[in-house]
Amino acid sequence: MGVASDDSARQIELVPLYQNQCFLPSALYALSRELICDYVAHQITVPADRDAYMAERANQLRMAMASRRELDISASEQTVFVGEEAVKNYIDFPDEGYFVKSPKSFLGVSGLRAEHQAFFEDIVSAMMVQIKQAAEAQLGTKIRHTVIGRPVNFQGSGGDAANQQASGILHRAAARAGFESTELLYEPIAAGINFETELTHNQTVLVVDVGGGTTDCSVVRMGPDHRIKDDRSADFLGHSGTRVGGNDLDINLAYHCLMPVFGMGSSLRSGRPLPTQPYWNAVSINDIPAQTEFNSLQNIELMDQLGRDANEPAKVKRLLNLQQHKQNYQLVRSAEHSKIALSAADSHQVDLSYISPDLQQALTRSEYEQAVERPVSKIVELMQDALSQAQCQPDLIYVTGGTAKSPVVRQAIAQLLGDIPVVDGDHFGSVTAGLTQWAAKLYR
């Protein structure tokens, strides 16, 4: 979260949200799913809004009361954790709570029923509440207005309907978190606004924002003649975006390089190969239908049967244990750590001792590059799409987002655009800084 100072200079400041960190992992952990709704209900400060919310969520709130009694949770006990604390609680107690990572990835999913939309509103509301409260504690003042970054497209398919669904969830969540007014701004445009302050002459810039859940690209005219405008619509020449990002690199790495530890690629005693779908579903933590299927009774029975029929039953047993102990998020997290390690080293030993004592898996950078080839090619397609809309080549490329630091992404950019200069932004802070600059214009 960023804030603009009240003085004429309108200095931009990123606010520490956890210890000295200005950014948090996009994650939430709750002692039970129903308690997320209960938490939100107690955070809504406007009485009429709180009463309306409690009427809408009456069934969920009754279930939350039952959950409190069942788990013997007192009224004062913390039940919802966000960011680093969410990850720590999940790692320590994977069996005992509800964990979700990168919920923004789910907001535009097609076919969400009303109760599912309401559930995601509650997740996002709870996260916004804690982030807002952390920032207000740092600043010593209330935050009333906000500009929130959004991807160009929340979902690979679904078009305007998916984007409207996701935007509606964000607006309603922000209101419940206590913001009096909320605007949304494309994240690559926000990154461009931040970068533009450094330009001394006009240029056409390809902004590539590769985040955890989404990748967005924009071709933007920038520079001294453009940044003074209040209406920038004519400066944005092309946009593209979809739900592919760092999470997909982690998922593909986990699938191709870690799932063999669980038996993928081996065979049944009949000689037939083991089916791959349960393995893909296990790591597809950003796919609701895949997770539903992986945790279904039918799939549990299938994995149990495969374990009895497999040539390597001990490995398949690990997959069943992974499901029973809810460790698939932790496995993808191990892949994420491996991705980071292989950005700087040629090989890496993955510690999987939480699956089985002393279990490790050796990975090489070459194996990683092969594993993530598909999501990286999608990122390249997005850049091509934005440039095709703009019908021009950029003078330079501005990259931001945590995943943009990955060497495989940088290699893909170089292969597509040759020796056009590439400039790095603050990979975790440039979007927020640009959103804050835009907020300073809107709410001046």
Which pLDDT score is estimated for 283?
A: 96
Which pLDDT score is estimated for 159?
A: 77
Which pLDDT score is estimated for 8?
A: 60
- Per-residue pLDDT, averaged over 17-39, amounts to 92
User: Per-residue confidence at 233, pLDDT binned at 50, 70, 90?
Assistant: confident
Residue 218 dihedral angles phi and psi, to the nearest 5° = -140, 140
Check: CB of residue 379 under 8 Å from CB of residue 412: yes
Which pLDDT score is estimated for 349?
A: 97
Give dist(CA 359, CA 187) in Å, integer.
40
DSSP structure class, residue 43? H
Check: CB of residue 327 under 8 Å from CB of residue 315: no
Check: CB of residue 292 under 8 Å from CB of residue 112: no
Give dist(CA 296, CA 301) in Å, integer.
9
Q: In the chain, what percentage of residues exceed pLDDT 70?
A: 98
Which pLDDT score is estimated for 10?
A: 67
Give dist(CA 187, CA 208) in Å, integer.
10
Q: Is the pLDDT of residue 5 over 80?
A: no
Tens of pLDDT, residue by residue over 237-246, are 998 988 889 9
Least confident of 55-64, 216-225, 266-275, 424-433: 424-433
Q: Is the pLDDT of residue 419 over 90?
A: no
Q: In the chain, what percentage of residues exceed pLDDT 90?
A: 63
User: Per-residue confidence at 441, pLDDT binned at 50, 70, 90?
Assistant: confident
User: Per-residue confidence at 156, pLDDT binned at 50, 70, 90?
Assistant: low
Using a 10 angstrom Cβ sphere, with 0-12 exposed, 13-18 middle and 19 or more buried, the burial of residue 212 is buried
Least confident of 30-34, 105-109, 202-206, 289-293: 105-109
Domains contained in the chain, CATH given: 16-145+155-179 (no CATH), 201-245+376-427 (3.30.420.40), 247-373 (no CATH)
Give dist(CA 164, CA 146) in Å, integer.
19
User: Per-residue confidence at 158, pLDDT binned at 50, 70, 90?
Assistant: low
Residues 6+ apart with CB under 8 A from 245: 210, 211, 212, 213, 214, 215, 375, 401, 403
pTM (predicted TM-score): 0.82
Give dist(CA 282, CA 368) in Å, integer.
19
Tens of pLDDT, residue by residue over 127-137, are 999 999 999 99
